[in-house]
Structure 1
Amino acid sequence: MKIYYSPASPYVRKVMVVAHELGLADRIERLPSAAGPVQRDATIRQHNPIGQVPTFFTDDGTVLYDSRVICEYLDDLGGGRFFGTGTERWRNLTDAALGDGLLGAALLARYEAVLRPESLRWADWSRGQIEKVTDAIDSMERMDLGSRLDIGTVTFGCGLGYLDFRFPDLDWRSGRPRVASWYADFAQRPSMTATAPAG
């Protein structure tokens, strides 16, 4: 198996956390990439027209994208329970969508601050994206995450880790003791420490 990889991508991290938890990480070759929202990687585009990471190749050459699909493939391959069944499945998928929404908003705010020329930046846009982020964390604060390990909590963990990585001044822990405590424990999982973002 192969994956177009970026050490800073929270979506790649989500895939690799699941792979580590299922004992599959050593079977995945990491392919270098230069994916970006403006200058897209032509090599990736040959396999994924969106040109984004993660883009994944199964052992038989099937191409999979995006992170949600790849995680479900790995869960099936590894006999995991990251998605669950019945009511639990819908909870896990909904939580994963919340975490992906947080990540999407954070990435848009990051691009606005770093990639858009300063004279064209829109403060209201950035504020709106960060409000999505904080609303998502407020929702997590009301949850009983306990010791759950599923696609929802993995996405939450990768999302909060991305905030620490790219938005160190956000202070998302303030006023949210439950999710802050949960993340402090979750971030110590070997799968999380092995995939810590860089770059």
Structure 2
Amino acid sequence: MKLLISPASPFVRKARLLIREAGLTDRVQEVEVSTTPLATDTSVMAANPIGKIPALLRGDGPAIYDSRVITRYLDALAGGKFYPEARIWEVLTLEATADGIMDAAVNLTYEGRFRTPEMQSAAWMDAQWGKASRGVSAINERWMSHLSGPLDISHMAVACALSYLDLRHDARGWRAGNDALAAWHASFSERASMVATKPG
């Protein structure tokens, strides 16, 4: 199998984390592509008509895409450890919260990177940060007990979301008022999978 990636993408990183945590590195080849919202790589477009990464090319079926689909598929191949049925709705909800933070943060990045200054909307950018900030606060206030439990995909998603905020929006200071989550993230960032997938 081949995973189409761009290392800075938090959605890609989530899939890369699961590959390492699930012991699938010998089964999935990571192929780096250069793609943007305005210039989609042809291999990405062939795999995913929406033109987004990650996309997983399989030898025994059509390509699959969307990070949540890919991680669920790969986890199933590895035995289903990281989507535990006993707490599946909590896991999926926390993963969705983290993905929402990523989505807002990526939109904020794109506004600054791909729209000319005169076209950028400060109000829209503030609204995107508001979504990300509320998500971070909700995790800090409601989900720390879950993050203290056995490793699952939601831990990986949260770590990728917070690390992306550090990468692209560090000046906005997500840690303020979120001490428990900041401490958790510092510890989680030391995992071998996090170190191996840190954008250069």
User: Which TM class, normalised by the smaller chain length?
Assistant: over 0.9
- After superposing the two structures, state which structure 1 stretch, 63-72 or 25-34, moved more: 25-34
Deviation of 1:33 after TM superposition, in Å, equals 1.3
Deviation of 1:147 after TM superposition, in Å, equals 4.0
2:41 match: 41
1:111 maps to amino acid: Y
**Alignment check: 8 A CA contact 1:4 1:31 kept:** yes
| Distance in 2, Cα, partners of 1:80 & 1:194 | 23
Deviation of 1:57 after TM superposition, in Å, equals 1.5
**Alignment check: 8 A CA contact 1:10 1:197 kept:** no
1:3 match: 3
| Distance in 2, Cα, partners of 1:166 & 1:148 | 29
Per-residue CA shift, 1:78-110, capped at 9, x if unaligned? 113211114x10000000100010000001111
| Distance in 1, Cα, partners of 2:138 & 2:155 | 13
Per-residue CA shift, 1:128-153, capped at 9, x if unaligned? 00011110010111122214411111
- After superposing the two structures, state which structure 1 stretch, 34-43 or 88-97, moved more: 34-43
1:182 maps to amino acid: W
2:160 match: 158
**Alignment check: 8 A CA contact 2:7 2:32 kept:** no
Deviation of 1:59 after TM superposition, in Å, equals 3.7
In structure 2, the gaps of 5 or more residues are none
Deviation of 1:67 after TM superposition, in Å, equals 0.6
- After superposing the two structures, state which structure 1 stretch, 185-194 or 77-86, moved more: 77-86
In structure 1, the gaps of 5 or more residues are none
| Distance in 2, Cα, partners of 1:164 & 1:197 | 11
Deviation of 1:124 after TM superposition, in Å, equals 0.3
1:85 match: 85
1:186 maps to amino acid: F
| Distance in 1, Cα, partners of 2:59 & 2:72 | 16
Q: Secondary structure at the match of 2:172?
A: coil
1:131 match: 130
Deviation of 1:189 after TM superposition, in Å, equals 0.8
| Distance in 1, Cα, partners of 2:171 & 2:32 | 30
* Equivalence map 1:79-118=2 (5 Å): 79-86=79-86, 88-118=87-117
**Alignment check: 8 A CA contact 2:56 2:64 kept:** yes
Q: CA RMSD in A?
A: 1.2
Percent same amino acid among aligned pairs?
38
2:54 maps to amino acid: P
Task: State how many pairs are aligned.
Answer: 197
**Alignment check: 8 A CA contact 2:47 2:64 kept:** no
- Aligned equivalent of 1:195, options 183, 197, 200: 197
Q: Secondary structure at the match of 2:161?
A: helix
| Distance in 1, Cα, partners of 2:108 & 2:47 | 28
* Equivalence map 1:11-50=2 (5 Å): 11-50=11-50
**CA separation of 1:96/1:37 partners in 2, compared to 1, >3 Å: closer, same or farther?**
same
Higher percent of residues as helix: 2
| Distance in 2, Cα, partners of 1:61 & 1:4 | 16
| Distance in 1, Cα, partners of 2:13 & 2:26 | 14
2:169 maps to amino acid: F
| Distance in 2, Cα, partners of 1:69 & 1:193 | 24
| Distance in 1, Cα, partners of 2:126 & 2:133 | 10
